[in-house]
Amino acid sequence: MKYAVISDIHGNMDALDAVLSDAEKQSADIFLFAGDYCLSMPFPEQAVQRIACMDNAFVIRGNEEQYIERMQGEDEGRWEGGQMHISCWCAQALSDESKMFLRRLPERKQFRDEESGVVFHMSHSSQDIIGNAELSKFSCPTIPLMYKERELKHSQLLSDIRKHLSGNEEFQRQCDKLEDGVYIFGHSHIQWFIQKGKKIFINPGSCGLPMDSCERGAPYTLIEADEKGITIDERRIPYNMDDFIKKFKESDQYKKVPVWSNIRIRELQARREHLYFFLKYAEEYAERTGDPVRPFTRKTWEAAYKEWEKR
């Protein structure tokens, strides 16, 4: 059986289309979706509906799905132009059918591959499986700090992550508690995998918004399971980024949520975190200007962005 593992689409329909097309060419039998299908980019409804229509998929929820659920019933005007406007916009962009689909998703999934007998475990974040072993060092904000401005080769980053985990006491301790099998998660937007004995840990990276500073393209991971064992193929699929950004800038999200949209476009182009650093700057700006309101108001949010952009 061949599985395509996909996570963190974040409303990037072009990346999802590219990955699904490649997975079909690679004869994937089952699609494993590890959460975060909307929020950040302008096509959440299309992405959710594409996944919802697939009858050969196992789908779990991510943290963004929880944010959308919390926003339902919120007054969009309350957050007009401010920090939380993206969540309200996304909630309103989703149909009732899509919101119901997301609400019904489980947080975890477990199943057994019939050919190999291997048990698969799915959760959105590695924290649910190996604690803070991954995220304490490798996360969206840490990559720019660790590797500065240089572009990485995926092979180098994979080697660094494996070296870190191999010497990490929490990783070893959590591994000892787990049964043999394949453990799948996303959330960090960084593609990697490691095997420890008969336990395999797989993060397919972010299909829609990779943050690893590595090669261009949409990451996902193929797993082949049979009587001989498990084979893993990390893939990164090219798509027309310029065309997607053009559609992004013509979208309703870009028109109504410009600050968030422009930051995400920066991240798409650089394949590294910007939002975290902007939020830190916005906090400093709010304190400097004496604004105690959180989440940030439209005035503070837009003024902080103008300053941050000029640095």
- Taking residues 5-22, report their average pLDDT: 98
What are the pLDDT digits (tens) for 145-171?
A: 999 877 899 999 999 999 999 999 999
Band of pLDDT at residue 248, cut at 50, 70 and 90: very high
* 211 contacts 264 by C-beta, under 8 angstroms: no
Nearest to 121 by CA among 63, 60, 173: 60
In a domain, 250, yes or no: no
Instruction: Tell me, letter by letter, the H, E, C secondary structure of 181-233.
Output: EEEEEECCCCEEEEEECCEEEEEECCCCCCCCCCCCCEEEEEEEEECCEEEEE
Task: Judge whether residue 206 has pLDDT over 60.
Answer: yes
d(CA 81, CA 256): 7
Helix (H) or strand (E) holding 57: strand 57-59
In a domain, 290, yes or no: no
In a domain, 294, yes or no: no
Q: How many domains does the chain have?
A: 1
* 154 contacts 215 by C-beta, under 8 angstroms: yes
Name the residue type at position 187: H
DSSP 11: T
The pLDDT value given to residue 70: 73
What are the pLDDT digits (tens) for 267-306?
A: 999 999 999 999 999 999 999 999 999 999 999 999 999 9
In a domain, 293, yes or no: no
Task: Judge whether residue 72 has pLDDT over 80.
Answer: no
In a domain, 292, yes or no: no
d(CA 76, CA 305): 21
In a domain, 233, yes or no: yes
User: By residue range, what is the domain housing residue 135?
Assistant: 2-237
* Beta carbons within 10 angstroms of residue 120's beta carbon: 23
Burial of 172 (0-12, 13-18, 19+ CB in 10 A): middle
In a domain, 119, yes or no: yes
Q: What is the mean pLDDT of the chain?
A: 95
CATH code: domain of residue 124: 3.60.21.10
